Structure 1
């Protein structure tokens, strides 16, 4: 085998390997209407991620004193309020990351935050005021997620 044909063979192998690695990265199947509900679910999760970031940053603003006056300072609040605020400051941001990535654990953490907020509002109204509006909104978001997840699961065969 000559040096020229050996170089051509090596170059052809390099081109083929490069093409194969790019094909592995790219989305080989174009988006179709077959997975419309999955796309809607991912969009919903991304919107919830942005909302979770906003809520988490708001709770951190309460902890650090960026929100509220001197009378509303974190250290002057009851221990139950402080505990709940720190809990939501952390878990909302963790949920936001998982939701944005559309991972199963992100949805589980987000569902935990939704249920936790509803329980705190209903069972412990002294902490955040017991707003039925918040409970209703959380129930509406949970229902929307469950409906989208169900529809997305129906469009994929088992």
Structure 2
């Protein structure tokens, strides 16, 4: 590494980088909980109608099985701060937004889930834009 490159490397993460890391790790924990809740539903740990994969209607089977796999996968990517973590979370969030926002008669009305996904997306985009502007201010070239 040349001396010129070494002098331009940040010594400490900016407040925006720190906030983005905290957001991603918090969402990772939520994704892990959500993934476990889908697995609980699929494996039938609770009594009730449609609380087991073979008793679920087809539309729940088609939604719950992929989300049970994708949510923990998103949790790992977000926790590791990997670039693919937010992408997998976005796929999960889009699926739940379609489930609960477009087809509430099938999946139920879960306004809190919709609001949380929207607030996380807005927070993530806001922090990425602020981080980009901060880096552009530091390195105007």
Report if TM-score (shorter chain) is over 0.5.
Answer: yes
Does 2:30 correspond to 1:57? Answer: no
Deviation at 1:29, TM superposition (A): 5.7
Deviation at 1:75, TM superposition (A): 1.5
Q: What is the CA deviation profile of residues 101-154 of structure 1, one whole-angstrom value per residue up to 9, with x for unaligned ones?
A: 111111111111112111111222233203233212211111111111111222
Structural mapping, 1:4-19, within 5 Å? none
Q: What is the CA deviation profile of residues 2-29 of structure 1, one whole-angstrom value per residue up to 9, with x for unaligned ones?
A: xxxxxxxxxxxxxxxxxxxxxxxxxx96
Per the alignment, residue 11 of structure 1 pairs with: none
SS at match of 2:135: coil
Distance in 2, Cα, partners of 1:127 & 1:83: 12
In 2, are the aligned partners of 1:122 and 1:130 still within 8 Å (CA)?
yes
Does 2:53 correspond to 1:111? Answer: no
Per the alignment, residue 131 of structure 1 pairs with: 110
Give the TM-score normalised by structure 2.
Answer: 0.81
Structure 1 runs, 4 residues or longer, greater than 3 Å off: none
SS at match of 1:155: helix
Q: What are the ranges of 5 or more consecutive residues in structure 1 without an aligned counterpart?
A: 1-27
Does 2:12 correspond to 1:31? Answer: yes
From 49, 72, 84, the equivalent of 1:93 is 72
Give the TM-score normalised by structure 1.
Answer: 0.73
Q: What are the ranges of 5 or more consecutive residues in structure 2 without an aligned counterpart?
A: 1-8
In 2, are the aligned partners of 1:114 and 1:142 still within 8 Å (CA)?
no
In 2, are the aligned partners of 1:98 and 1:105 still within 8 Å (CA)?
yes
From 32, 47, 63, the equivalent of 1:69 is 47
Change in Cα spacing, 1:77 to 1:49, as seen in structure 2 (3 Å) is same
Tell me the C-alpha RMSD between the 2 structures: 1.8
Larger radius of gyration: 1
Change in Cα spacing, 1:53 to 1:126, as seen in structure 2 (3 Å) is same
Per the alignment, residue 47 of structure 1 pairs with: 26
SS at match of 2:122: helix
